[in-house]
Amino acid sequence: MTRFVQQPDYEGAEFIDLSMASATFREVDLSGARMRGVLLLDADIDGAIDGLRVNGVEIMPLIEAELDRLHPERLRLQPTTPETMRDAVDVIEELWQATLRRASVLPEEAVHRSVNDEWSLAQTLRHTIFVVDAWYGHAAALRPNPFHPIGVPASFITNGTEFGIDESAAPTLGEILAVRAERIADLRAYLAQVTQEELDRVRGPNTAIGCPPPAERTAVKCLQVIFSDQWAHVQFADRDLAILEQEYA
């Protein structure tokens, strides 16, 4: 398969009378793309989508409504109060426990296997550690060094080593789960005593090197990012587990 990696010369380009059938687009910015007269049969798209119109209809509100119908727990993952924040943590932990129970019956190697070039379950769990460190430890709590070395940043973050990420780390599942449990316990401790005023207070920016970039934010907005990301990645993990379950059956 021909690979085109980090080639910005495609920005503003026109693709005419080409076949991209069965092509894979990963971490690609398609903002502002215009597609006319395309064939889009049996395609699979996931990502940050907003304002997308198909045949003149903005489809994201329809998708969000259908996702809420299929996954009613999503309605509990846009919390704005201390009580609903605590409930949101319960939701994501229940989801991950169910996923880990499925993974526990597979061979240990399956946890570290990639499916279709996506993150393995181990890498996905390490990413959730990074997200808590980024959006709670860094952005909300304004800590100077919140990042655990085994966290896995998104692929577009290329300077992780500058704020403590060990790109050579190869932790066991047990080590990953122990660190993740510490992060969730830390978050629960914060939410056990936080006030509404504190959640709504605009804080920052955190000028220490890290992720997300420095900006003024409320804890509400930061923690909502965590819950949204956790839900999305447990869906990805379940999707790939279904394939692994078939392979190891």
| Among 10-14, 93-97, 177-181, the least confident range | 10-14
Q: By C-alpha distance, which of 50, 49, 48, 13 is closest to 34?
A: 13
Q: Are strands 57-58 and 202-203 parallel, antiparallel or unpaired?
A: unpaired
33-42, 107-116, 177-186: lowest mean pLDDT where? 33-42
* DSSP tally for the chain: helices H, then strands E: 7, 4
pLDDT over 80 at 8, yes or no? no
Q: Which of 102, 106, 91, 97 is nearest to 181 (CA)?
A: 97
The pLDDT value recorded for residue 11 is 81
Confidence of residue 1 (pLDDT cuts 50, 70, 90): low
Start-to-end Cα distance in the chain: 30
For the cut 80, the answer to whether the pLDDT of residue 246 exceeds it is yes
Predicted confidence at residue 23, as pLDDT, reads: 87
What tens digit of pLDDT does each residue of 75-99 get?
999 999 999 999 999 999 999 999 9
- Residue 36 confidence (pLDDT): 86
Q: How many alpha carbons lie under 13 Å from residue 233 in its C-beta half-sphere?
A: 26
DSSP state at residue 213: P
Rounded average pLDDT over 109-130? 96
26 confidence band (pLDDT: 50, 70, 90): confident
Q: Per-residue pLDDT for 31 more than 70?
A: yes
pLDDT at 24: 86
pLDDT > 90? residue 13: no
Whether 106 shows a pLDDT value over 70: the answer reads: yes
Q: Where would I find the H helices in 3-117?
A: 60-70, 82-104, 108-111
Q: What's the predicted TM-score (pTM) here?
A: 0.87
Percentage of the residues of the chain whose pLDDT score is greater than 70: 98
DSSP state of 134: I
d(Cα 128, Cα 89) in Å, to the nearest integer? 13
- Fold for 79-248, please state it: Four Helix Bundle (Hemerythrin (Met), subunit A) (1.20.120)
The predicted-structure confidence for 141-155, as pLDDT tens digits, reads as follows 999 999 999 999 998
Determine the pLDDT at residue 233: 97
